[in-house]
Structure 1
Amino acid sequence: MSHSARRRILLTTASVTGLTLAVPAWAGLLRTPPQALGPFYPQQLPLDDDNDLVSVAGQSGIARGEICNLHGRIVDETGQPLAAARVEIWQCNAFGRYHHPGDRGERPLDPNFQCYGRFVTGSDGGYRFRTIKPVAYPGRAPHVHFAITVAGQPPLITQMYVAGAAENAGDGLLQSVRDPLARAALIVPFEQPAGGGNLLARFDIVLATPGRAEPGSR
């Protein structure tokens, strides 16, 4: 069995079971594929840039849209958690507009939506945000932008998509990920907890293992 095939089996097993695997030295989880930064990364970060995007300092209201608890873990290819990783997210509001001067569409702004947030992982590699379920806008499927920065590595820029969204099939950026397993790793279900409450979504992100030699290299 090839190294690539073993990696894919491990990835599939991990995604199905939700377990952190103790993997042998030859194995590795499939890296989360990179995606474009996009034109709407904030030109100036908001004063309120915490991990709660649906409540803005100085505003009394709550963001429009379906509120979601978005969480996951940042790990390397061996499944080891990456502490002190900076996780940034940004997305359009529930009307399909970014809080960015380059978005000149007629869709309204939402003063109660932060549009950007960041979080630094702890020893377990975990991150969490309170945000809204992303929505589509002309030409794009619903998505959330991610940037993950770990000391000693270039940032990973990627995007997370919504399972079952009709727009996924026609989204050129998502479909540009040719490997079906890698593409599937970017698509996440948003689920209603059995006891009610906010939606839940989990997006685990796999980065390159620092200093790891590629298979077959010397």
Structure 2
Amino acid sequence: MDRDTTPAGHVTRKTVLRAALAAGIAAPAVLMGVPALARNLTDGATPPPITPECHDGDAPTIEQMEGPYFKPNSPLRTSLLEPGTSGVPLTVGGYVFGRACKPIPGVLMDFWQADTNGAYDNTGFRFRGHQFTGADGGFKLTTIVPGLYPGRTRHLHVKVQAPGRPILTTQLYFPGEPRNNTDSIFDARLLMAVRDVGGGAKEAAFDFVLNIAQDPGPSPTPTPTATATAPGGTWAVGTAYRAGDAVTYAGRAYVCLQAHTAQPGWEPPSVPALWRAV
């Protein structure tokens, strides 16, 4: 099957995004739907083409094992590079969608990986960090290509959690790696699109599809929420919590596991990646 079209012949979302990048069109405009892309590529004298169905033919992104090296309390950051970091520079970007191809903002994404020698930092937080998708559902991670270690091919670990939804734990892989053929965990459905960008650096792309039903149409405009005054006390929307902050919710005590700003749907019982009952 042509990977740029669905079995029904519809253009895939990934094809539209790649076309937009090649044309220099901003990703947020593309994510408003194909008509925005068509408007930018026509002179306005003729109606834009019929909008292709927003569908990839993809099932939601598959789960994979967490492995033995996950640690909670990773720092909030989009770059895992630190002074003295060695390795091939790598930038990973993409979007998080629901089943109707609508981007999902505010998704918690926790990344961890091996260093260039194939070792994990299990005492500190080197090559560990979390971030949240933007209003356009996009994310970007600056890191290095992970090294190899016995039994595994190159891979990145990630936990993905939309507000108030279960955690998706999975791994991302690199195309063309010899060990892809011998790694019993490897799954081609989790291959990133990787290219060289000069200077020995690489750029990768991957779109996550979460098993979340969505109504068709544009994403809703985020609604501002009131900001609470300080962490601690009763959990409140808009509060910037830090790892270790203690709150109460519905009469029960919780401790914050990762720094974040509270949003509706992220009440402590709903997001075990952010809160632990005590």
Fold-level match, TM-score > 0.5? yes
Is the aligned partner of 1:89 residue 2:117? Answer: no
Q: Taking CA–CA contacts closer than 8 Å with sequence separation of 6 or more, which of the two structures ends up with the larger relative contact order?
A: 1
Q: How many residues align?
A: 181
Q: Where has structure 1 moved over 3 Å in runs of 4 or more?
A: 6-29, 195-198
Residue 135 of structure 1: how far off its partner (Å): 2.1
**Deviation (angstroms), 1:73:** 0.4
Q: CA separation of 1:96/1:11 partners in 2, compared to 1, >3 Å: closer, same or farther?
A: farther
Q: Does 1:72 align with 2:94?
A: yes
Residue identity in the other structure for 1:133: V
Deviation at 1:159, TM superposition (A): 0.4
Amino acid at match of 2:207: D
Deviations 1:117-152, CA, capped at 9 Å, x for gaps: 111111110001110112221011100001001123
Tell me, yes or no, if the aligned pair for 1:28 and 1:78 is still in contact at 8 Å: no
**Corresponding position of 1:208:** 211
Work out whether 1:170 is the aligned partner of 2:182: yes
**2:190 maps to amino acid:** L
Deviations 1:63-88 (A, max 9, x none): 11111111110011211000010111
Q: Secondary structure at the match of 1:167?
A: helix
Percentage of pairs with the same residue: 27
Contact 1:10 1:28 survives alignment (8 Å): no
Q: Please state how far the C-alpha of 1:188 moved relative to its aligned partner.
A: 1.6
Counterparts of 1:125 and 1:67, CA distance in 2: 24
Q: What is the SS of the residue equivalent to 2:70?
A: coil
Contact conserved, 2:160 with 2:167, CA < 8 A, in 1?
yes
Structure 1 alignment gaps of length 5 or more: 1-5, 56-60, 102-110, 175-182, 213-218
Q: TM-score, normalised by structure 1?
A: 0.71
Aligned to 1:50: 77
Change (3 A) 1:70 1:153: same
Aligned to 2:26: none
- Aligned-residue RMSD, C-alpha: 2.9
Tell me the equivalent position of 2:59: 30
The counterpart of 2:85, out of the listed 40, 49, 63, is 63
Of structures 1 and 2, the larger Rg is shown by 2
Answer yes or no: is the 8 Å Cα contact 1:148–1:157 preserved in 2: yes
Q: 1:134 to 1:11 in 2, by over 3 A?
A: farther
Distance 1:80 1:26 in 2: 10
TM (norm. structure 2) is: 0.57
CA gap 1:142/1:122 in 2 versus in 1, 3 angstroms: same
Segment drifting more, 69-78 vs 21-30 = 21-30
